Amino acid sequence: MRIGLLILPIHPWAEARRLWRDAEEGGFDSAWTYDHLSYQGFRERPWFGAVPVLAAAAAVTERIRLGSLVSSPNVRHPVALAEDVAALDDVSSGRFTLGVGCGTTGFDASALGDGPRSLDEREDRFEEFVGLLDRLLTAPATARTGRLHPAEEARTVPDRVRRPRVPFAVAGERARAMRLAARYGQAWVSCPAGDLPPADCPGRVARRLDRLGELCAEQGRDVKELDRILLTGYTTERPCASVDRFVDLAGRYAEAGVTELVVHLPVADSRFAADERVFARIVEEGLPQVRPL
């Protein structure tokens, strides 16, 4: 089981620099941030752009994988995003993973003046978004007039660090998003939410992974070709409540088929609050117990 850390983009760089370096030095396999204009309870608090934060993080780290969880068509156009992705891949020397999702509703989704959309509309837009990103990051030029994302002679010129392109981590538990993960993804991201009893959560994810396996088979792929990432923090499981809870939860999800568990760096006065002393013990004592030798 690999372990990732989600660092919210809320810290001035003088402070954030240390957090990203600590993630690497503490033994995390990956470090991620949210790609939003703002987020839930943080609307009235500082919130920095994901792309410059990730570029800065790449410059002060050497080993740890970096990524967005997730970039969406709510705030990104594929043509501009492809240029940013190529730059992040270059600055990080090939350590960047592009997490993509269809986006949610709320003020973040409508900040650009694009009114609220139904889930079906968001999925329509997401399907075109992912397909166009794939084209932009693999072809020297793209002349395609999309229904929702037009592109005319768009070019992603920088040399690619990885070929054919940066890996995609496709988020979503509905069938259409999972089909996109099976077709385009190098990883699938699950973010379970709700009040399901903690003991039942790994089983739910295991069932989704069974479905992902079926969809991969339809594409002529083995589900084991994909990393299976679980983003925690939206259920009642509380993985950072104690070292034992963290180790037990990681073991349960490993048995379910998850290959990477992502936890949030604690943030006081938020849904991601946790005892920082306990979290430090998890880093020191818990990570060595769950990561492969």
Q: How far apart are CA 267 and CA 24, in angstroms?
A: 19
Q: Show the DSSP H helices in 119-169 as ranges.
A: 119-138
Low-confidence ranges of the chain (pLDDT < 50): none
Q: What's residue 157's pLDDT?
A: 62
Q: How far apart are CA 15 and CA 128, in angstroms?
A: 38
Global pTM value: 0.94
Tell me whether residue 133 is exposed, middle or buried, using C-beta atoms within 10 angstroms of its C-beta: 0 to 12, 13 to 18, 19 or more: buried
Q: What's residue 114's pLDDT?
A: 72
Q: Show the DSSP H helices in the chain as ranges.
A: 13-25, 50-60, 78-91, 107-110, 119-138, 175-184, 201-218, 243-256, 276-281, 287-290
Q: What's residue 145's pLDDT?
A: 62
Q: Could you write out the three-class secondary structure of 61-130?
A: CCCCEEEEEEECCCCCCHHHHHHHHHHHHHHCCCCEEEEECCCCCCHHHHCCCCCCCCHHHHHHHHHHHH
What is the 8-class DSSP label of residue 284?
I
**Percentage of residues of the chain with pLDDT beyond 70:** 96
Q: What's residue 108's pLDDT?
A: 75
Tokens read off for 283? 């880093």
